[in-house]
């Protein structure tokens, strides 16, 4: 019998005895075990030799598994020694055609493939393109290659070395960069036997960068004549040779202007690299913000972090600093508009939006849409806001803040089913990005929407989820207490109320403010009598407090407990704050309840015109008053 026949029979026998199947499952399981050990070694403080020991054990087991799979077979009746193949003369049973049955091993292999794919994906498709170009301390290592003199003027040769020295000195000041000095660069050039007066090709520049162990390198050229020169610079990855970024500057190299040109190159290169580094650390939602200033981007990210921590004052400060660092940073303006709005500084928010719109024509489309969205918000056109927001989401579908804003827009219209879908999408994306979403208002507003639709089970789940990310968050405790009390669970509700009171007291909250907050809590829980009692206690301590007068008037009029007293209180508020839209709304609704529809409608029109953003309750009150006026005019 020929050797090919023997090899063929041996191959068929390996398949019959399922050796390949067993070996594949063993290899897949071994890879998963190795990855698991690598991931848990540091958190569990295992000795350094443990991963190597596991690899050795698995390597020893590999041939043993192959041999055992040849000898034995696992059947429904247990382990059995594999029968030898029948000789050619033996009687054959004709196979009956049919569908192949699904085997347990098929399921195991499929599961292993899925698990291995999950483990391998982030390694193969890593988003950090700077991972391979960093030194052990995490800084980006960079080499500056002498630029090519394309002016045709030998007297301009000085700039080849001059630009290297200036770039090395300036870039070396960055904490994110480690720059190879020009002495080592020149030595590397000599080692490549490159004639210094000749141009350095891309392949030679890459070879020089490899010699000095730089992760990236800067090369370029300069051209022109007399007093007009163009300097081109490019940044490339040493390992792959891939071009990462390019820049050009114009000026006169025959004057002191060459220093400004070099400074401009340094500034742009340094900012590009530092921004790229910060983007890798930032949330996925904050990576495309369109600024060329690393300092501005740093302040912007600090502002976003302050918002996550519910520190509204700090957020406003950081966004202002970002704008000071880059006056054309439109995303910082947009964020400042939002931060001022959240802080209750509505007039300042409106003024900031007017400043931001001056940048409109220089913004990319997505930022123009965001500016249009805020303008529509000011016009109280929520349907236009939603239309624009959906357009933005089509362009940036994985941005959690955009989905949150869409949910907020539906909330304002009291379309809670739709707002729930948007907020749930935020949490879905958050799981995709690793579950680190710290914007507490997503959880609060999702919980509120669930509360309004009667899904209290999901409401409780959302609040608990939030506390796992932001423990002891006082606004979440407020929501949990109101949720439990509204369902008649006084034991749980009172426990949350005590926790809420402790948190506020620890923050230095005064007794009247504490009473007012508790009044809000019980009103949300539907316990109007308790809410009225608490706000009256607060007002007894501070009888001239207009916020307390406002809250008591709101309860008395909206719950129809004492409309006349409510109107007296709200008049005192309007004397102190004429034109306050929500105070006018409360008074107008009291007049409506007393069937003074014409007077109510005129006041509601004034309130609506004074609003800086949409309020659905004012809108509904206005429509109700309009309907009554129409009826009385018929």
Phi, psi angles (nearest 5°) of residue 289: -120, -5
Largest CA distance in the chain: 112
In this predicted structure, what is the pLDDT of residue 534? 97
573 or 279, higher pLDDT: 573
The pLDDT confidence band at residue 124, using thresholds 50, 70 and 90, is very low
C-alpha separations of 386 from 230, 366, 406 in Å: 47, 15, 6
The pLDDT confidence band at residue 475, using thresholds 50, 70 and 90, is very high
Taking 80 as the threshold, does the pLDDT of residue 354 lie above it? yes
The pLDDT confidence band at residue 586, using thresholds 50, 70 and 90, is very high
In this predicted structure, what is the pLDDT of residue 225? 82
Q: What percentage of the chain reaches a pLDDT higher than 70?
A: 82
The whole-chain average pLDDT of the chain stands at 84
In this predicted structure, what is the pLDDT of residue 8? 67
294 or 68, higher pLDDT: 294
Taking 50 as the threshold, does the pLDDT of residue 266 lie above it? yes
Find the helix or strand (DSSP H, E) in which 346 lies: helix 346-356
15 or 368, higher pLDDT: 368
The pLDDT confidence band at residue 633, using thresholds 50, 70 and 90, is confident
Beta-sheet pairing, 177-179 with 148-149: unpaired
Taking 90 as the threshold, does the pLDDT of residue 133 lie above it? no
Taking 80 as the threshold, does the pLDDT of residue 73 lie above it? no
3-state secondary structure of 105: helix
Lowest mean pLDDT segment, chosen from 86-90, 248-252, 344-348: 86-90
Only one residue has tokens 């979440």, namely 476
CATH superfamily ID and name for 131-277:
ABC-type transport auxiliary lipoprotein component (3.40.50.10610)
The pLDDT confidence band at residue 2, using thresholds 50, 70 and 90, is low
232 or 47, higher pLDDT: 232
E strands within 169-227? 177-179, 216-225
Provide the Cα torsion 585, 587, 589, 590; round to 10°.
170
Please state, in angstroms and rounded to a whole number, the distance separating the CA atoms of residues 364 and 147. 33
In this predicted structure, what is the pLDDT of residue 624? 96
Taking 80 as the threshold, does the pLDDT of residue 336 lie above it? yes
Please state, in angstroms and rounded to a whole number, the distance separating the CA atoms of residues 620 and 412. 12
In this predicted structure, what is the pLDDT of residue 43? 55
Q: What angle do CA 67, 69, 74 make, to 5 degrees?
A: 150
Please state, in angstroms and rounded to a whole number, the distance separating the CA atoms of residues 132 and 395. 30
The pLDDT confidence band at residue 386, using thresholds 50, 70 and 90, is very high
Mean pLDDT along residues 357-363: 92
Lowest mean pLDDT segment, chosen from 8-17, 62-71, 337-346, 348-357: 8-17
The pLDDT confidence band at residue 83, using thresholds 50, 70 and 90, is low
Only one residue has tokens 């690598």, namely 38
Only one residue has tokens 């207009």, namely 546
In this predicted structure, what is the pLDDT of residue 397? 92
E strands within 487-621? none
CA dihedral over 511, 512, 513, 515, signed as positive or negative: positive
Mean pLDDT along residues 240-263: 85
Beta-sheet pairing, 243-251 with 228-237: antiparallel
- Report the candidate in 33, 26, 27 with the shortest Cα–Cα distance to residue 54: 33
- Report the candidate in 359, 364, 421 with the shortest Cα–Cα distance to residue 395: 364
Q: In sequence order, which residues have a C-beta less than 8 Å from that of residue 417 and are 6 or more positions away?
A: 453
Only one residue has tokens 């004052």, namely 313
Domain ranges of the chain: 3-84+104-124, 131-277
Only one residue has tokens 């994110």, namely 176
């Amino acid at each position: 019998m020929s050797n090919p026949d023997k090899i063929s029979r041996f191959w068929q026998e390996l398949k019959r005895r399922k050796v390949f199947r067993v070996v594949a499952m063993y290899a897949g399981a071994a890879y998963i075990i190795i990855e698991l050990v690598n991931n848990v070694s540091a958190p569990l403080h295992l000795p350094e030799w443990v991963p190597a020991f596991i690899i050795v054990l698995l390597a020893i087991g590999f041939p043993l598994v192959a041999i055992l799979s040849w000898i034995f077979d696992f059947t429904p009746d247990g382990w059995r020694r594999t029968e030898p193949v029948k000789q050619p003369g033996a009687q054959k049973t004709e196979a009956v055609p049919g569908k192949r049955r699904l085997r347990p091993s098929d399921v195991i292999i499929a599961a292993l493939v899925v698990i291995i794919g999950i483990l391998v994906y982030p390694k193969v498709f890593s988003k950090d393109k700077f991972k391979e170009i960093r030194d052990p301390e995490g800084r980006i290592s960079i080499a500056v290659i002498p630029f090519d003199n394309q002016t045709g003027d030998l007297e301009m040769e000085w700039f080849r070395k001059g630009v290297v020295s200036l770039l090395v000195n300036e870039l070396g000041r960055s904490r994110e960069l480690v720059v190879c000095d020009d002495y080592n660069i020149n030595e590397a050039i000599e080692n490549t036997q490159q004639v210094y007066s000749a141009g350095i090709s891309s392949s030679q520049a890459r070879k020089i960068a490899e010699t000095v162990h730089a992760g990236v390198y800067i090369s370029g050229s300069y051209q022109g004549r007399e007093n007009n020169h163009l300097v081109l610079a490019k940044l490339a990855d040493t390992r792959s040779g891939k071009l990462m970024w390019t820049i050009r500057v114009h000026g006169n190299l025959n004057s002191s202007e060459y220093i400004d040109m070099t400074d401009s190159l340094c500034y742009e290169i340094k900012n590009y690299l530092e921004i790229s580094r910060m983007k890798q650390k930032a949330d996925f939602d904050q990576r495309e913000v369109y600024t060329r200033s690393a300092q501005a981007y740093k302040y912007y990210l600090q502002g976003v972090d302050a918002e996550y921590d519910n520190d509204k004052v700090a957020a406003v400060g950081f966004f202002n600093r970002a704008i000071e660092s880059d006056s054309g940073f439109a995303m910082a303006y947009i964020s400042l508009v939002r931060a001022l709005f959240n802080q209750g500084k509505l007039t300042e928010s409106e003024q900031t939006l007017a400043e931001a719109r001056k940048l409109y024509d220089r913004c990319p489309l997505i930022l123009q849409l965001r500016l249009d969205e805020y303008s529509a918000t000011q016009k109280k056109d929520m349907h236009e806001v939603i239309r624009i927001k959906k357009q933005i989401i089509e362009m940036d579908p994985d941005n959690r803040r955009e989905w949150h804003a869409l949910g907020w827009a539906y909330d304002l219209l009291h379309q809670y089913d739709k707002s729930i879908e948007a907020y749930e999408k935020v949490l879905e994306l958050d799981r995709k990005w690793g579950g680190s979403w710290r914007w507490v208002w997503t959880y609060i507003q999702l919980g509120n929407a669930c509360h309004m639709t009667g899904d209290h089970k999901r409401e409780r789940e959302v609040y608990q989820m939030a506390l796992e990310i932001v423990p002891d968050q006082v606004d979440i405790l407020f929501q949990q207490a109101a949720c439990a009390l509204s369902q008649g669970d006084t034991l749980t509700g009172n426990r949350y109320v005590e926790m809420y009171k402790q948190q506020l007291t620890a923050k230095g909250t005064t007794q009247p403010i504490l009473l007012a907050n508790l009044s809000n809590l019980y009103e949300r829980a539907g316990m109007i009598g308790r809410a009225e009692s608490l706000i009256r206690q607060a007002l007894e301590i501070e009888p001239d407090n207009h916020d307390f007068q406002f809250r008591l008037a709101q309860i008395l009029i909206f719950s129809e407990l004492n409309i006349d007293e409510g109107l007296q209180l709200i008049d005192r508020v309007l004397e102190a704050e004429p034109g306050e839209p929500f105070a006018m709304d409360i008074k107008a609704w009291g007049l409506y309840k007393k069937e003074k529809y014409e007077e109510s409608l005129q006041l509601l029109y004034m309130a609506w015109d004074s609003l800086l953003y949409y309020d659905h309750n004012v809108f509904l009150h206005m429509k109700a008053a309009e309907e009554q006026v129409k009826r009385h005019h018929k």
